[in-house]
Amino acid sequence: MVVGAGRGPLVERVLKAAEAAGRNVRVYAVEKNPNAVVTKEDEWGDRVEVVHCDMRYWEAPEKTDILVSELLGSFGDNELSPECLDGAQRFIKDGGISIPSSYTAYVSPLSSTKLYNEVSAYGDQEHLETPYVVKFKAIYELADPLPVWKFDHPNPEVDALANGMGNGMGQPGIPGFNEHNVRDAVASFFIKQDAVLHGIAGYFEATLYKNVMISIHPKTHSPGMFSWFPLFFPLKTPIYLPKNSILDLHFWRLCDARKVWYEWCAVPKVVGGGGDVTPLVGGASEVHNVGGRSSWIGL
């Protein structure tokens, strides 16, 4: 099954992979957007059944050996891949696989007067609390990216919830069902030189199957891949970071019954003579996008 099939490029790759492996396959191409639904039904014949439906609510006539999707955003989970695949994993047979099988979000501190000026020029809170997909050019990364959280598929916790176990919330769309996808993390960075922090870079790495990966992480970037650019999380007020200081980046992935959103803040720390690390007085940013007031993804 290809879920979120769009106009069919992944369906084409599934059929070519099956031919290369010498296997006969039956493919379900599931797509909810009527403006993007696949248009090659005549060409595919009876090998592919096109389903016009939201994968979270479709009742599949049978289970699948392989569930294929491409729902990743620049942060891995920022286009609701966890929520969509939670709803679709009930289609997978015992022992079946999901492609991708996992993805990890990364963050790093960023200095960029250009990006900060472009966002702050709007002059409102909303734009300064919204992440942007950006092809980085005039930027300086103050430290290597660090992971903040990971999602795995299929997720056994979802099966427990769907069977009325766990918190007993049952099916997608019911308030509380998505609480298992809430995340929070703190990433700590050593700042080697005096710098000004203007925002935070966001990246992802994804494992498709076993050791096959795709990545936009600068250190592991997949050669020739240009389908995703990084995310830029701005700060309302730039923060001065002294040489040999510590920077903690706090990140949250939160949800309610209708939406998913991110909150973030930066806390600089100084290292004392005895090696004690203490927050820089008055140096921390405020928490951005509280309650998803400025930016969110609708469920």
Q: What angle do CA 199, 268, 281 make, to 5 degrees?
A: 125
Q: Are strands 195-209 and 146-152 parallel, antiparallel or unpaired?
A: unpaired
> CA dist 147 to 17, 85, 185, 218, 247, Å?
32, 21, 9, 13, 15
Q: Answer positive or negative: Cα dihedral of 266, 125, 234, 283.
A: negative
Q: What angle do CA 207, 213, 214 make, to 5 degrees?
A: 105
Closest residue by Cα to residue 279 from 270, 287, 288: 270
How buried is 253 (Cβ within 10 angstroms: 0-12 exposed, 13-18 middle, 19+ buried)? buried
State the Cα–Cα distance between residues 47 and 259, nearest whole angstrom: 36
Task: Give every CB contact of residue 27 below 8 A, 6+ residues apart in sequence.
Answer: 1, 2, 11, 14, 15, 44, 47, 48, 49
DSSP letter string over 153-197?
A: SS-HHHHHHHTT-TT---STTSTTGGGGG-EEEEEEEEE-S-EEE
| 70 belongs to the catalytic site | yes
Within 10 Å of residue 53's Cβ, how many Cβ atoms?
A: 14
| 79 belongs to the catalytic site | yes
Q: Per the residue annotation, which of 70, 83, 129, 263 is the catalytic one? A: 70
Q: Answer positive or negative: Cα dihedral of 52, 56, 58, 63.
A: positive
Q: Per the residue annotation, which of 79, 118, 141, 179 is the catalytic one? A: 79
End-to-end CA distance of the chain: 22
CB 121 within 8 A of CB 193: no
Token pair of 69, please? 């999707």
- The set of catalytic residues is 70, 79
